[in-house]
Amino acid sequence: MTGGAQASRTVLAVSLVVLIATTALGVLLWQRAPALLGAAPPAPADVATAPLRLPPDVPDPGGYVHLLTGDDGAPVRWDPCRPVHVVVRPQGEPPGGRAAVETALARVGEASGLVFVVDGETDEAPTTTRALTDPARYGARWSPVLVAWSDAGEYPPLQGGAVGVAGPAADPAADRLSWVSGTVVLDAVWFADNLPQELGSRRAGAVLSHELAHLVGLGHSADPFSLMSPTYQSVYGFSLSDQAGLASLGGGACLPG
């Protein structure tokens, strides 16, 4: 989302993925909902003075949308000079689930230039009121991105056929907004049903890639053949427009604070 969202300094961050079985392959409809905010911790020890790596140099055909832009029109993004830390809750994880998540993280990391670091496992349950800091569990730092397998009973946003909810969150008190944490919640049953099948595994990979692109800060595309389209039909990889959008979010200078 862009434009007027920054006026209230409220960060819209979570995307909802709904599976509608209207064809043999199904149609995926993506929506967004708000995420919660927290207080700023001290700078981490692993922050660098230069970007950890650069995004690929790809042609920019336009057509992509940033989830949020700042007052200067620049996209809200992660700091390229520090890794994006991730933790995974293993409860309910289907066979092949961890590998699928790591493959999608690598794909989005390569396209954006951002460095994802999986810190390990957590017992944190997904909630719609997740704070950006949790010192008792994670210490004096931003809460790492949480990846959790769940269902609609535990996590209501998965109701109505949703297969995943994901997105970044920012500190609204910062002089310049940047993504500092995030959440990815995945429907365990849907992934368990799809991952063992060749076509289903490709669809699962597409869902994860789409969701993680939202986590990076990419919004929906008007191009129906883009993986970032609001509706998905037989698209398994990022279009050139998607790639350019991801590169625009992973490049640039270090962010202060």
SS3 letters for 70-119?
A: CCCCCECCECCCCCEEEEEECCCCCCCHHHHHHHHHHHHHHHHCCCEEEE
Q: How many residues does the chain have?
A: 257
Alpha-helical runs (H) found in the chain? 97-112, 135-138, 188-194, 198-216, 240-250
Q: Where does the pLDDT of residue 215 fall: very low under 50, low under 70, confident under 90, or very high at 90 and above? A: very high
pLDDT band at 207 (very low <50, low <70, confident <90, very high): very high
* Distance from C-alpha of 232 to C-alpha of 248, rounded to nearest angstrom: 23
Domain for residue 160, yes or no?
yes
Domain assignment of residue 257, yes or no: no
Predicted structure pTM score: 0.86
Q: What is the pLDDT of residue 232?
A: 62
Q: How many domains does the chain have?
A: 1
% of the chain exceeding 90 in pLDDT: 66
For position 72, what pLDDT does the model report?
87
Q: Is residue 161 part of a domain?
A: yes
Give the tokens for residue 143: 């809460």
Going by C-alpha positions, the residue among 24, 19, 34, 11 that lies closest to residue 158 is 19
DSSP state of 148: E
> Considering the domain boundaries, does residue 227 fall inside one?
yes
Token pair belonging to 134: 């949790």
Rounded CA-CA distance 42/167 in Å is 23
* pLDDT tier, 27 (very low <50, low <70, confident <90, very high otherwise): very low
Sequence-separated contacts (24+) of 82-85 with Cβ below 8 Å: 82/44, 82/46, 82/47, 82/48, 82/52, 83/46, 83/52, 83/114, 83/115, 83/116, 83/117, 84/114, 84/115, 84/116, 84/117, 84/145, 85/117, 85/119, 85/141, 85/144, 85/145
Q: Is residue 81 part of a domain?
A: yes
Provide the pLDDT confidence category of residue 4 given band limits of 50, 70 and 90. Answer: very low
Q: Would you say residue 23 lies in a domain? A: yes
Q: Is residue 256 in a domain? A: no
Rounded to the nearest 10 degrees, the angle between the axes of helix 97-112 and helix 240-250 is 80
152 pLDDT more than 60: yes
pLDDT of amino acid 132: 92
Edge to edge, the sheet with strand 179-187 lists 116-121, 84-89, 145-150, 179-187, 162-170, 12-20, 27-34, 231-232
pLDDT band at 29 (very low <50, low <70, confident <90, very high): very low
pLDDT at 171: 84
255 in any annotated domain: no
Distance CA 228, CA 219 (A): 7
Spatial distance between the Cα atoms of 65 and 220, rounded to a whole number of angstroms: 6
pLDDT over 70 at 32, yes or no? no
Q: What is the pLDDT of residue 115?
A: 98
| Domain span holding position 15 | 3-250
Mean pLDDT of 114-118: 98
User: What number is the average pLDDT over the span 203-226?
Assistant: 93
Quick: pLDDT tens for 36-95: 444 578 888 999 999 999 999 999 999 999 999 988 899 999 999 999 999 999 999 999
Q: What is the CATH number of the domain that holds 182?
A: 3.40.390.10
Rounded to whole angstroms, how far apart are CA atoms 88 and 121?
5
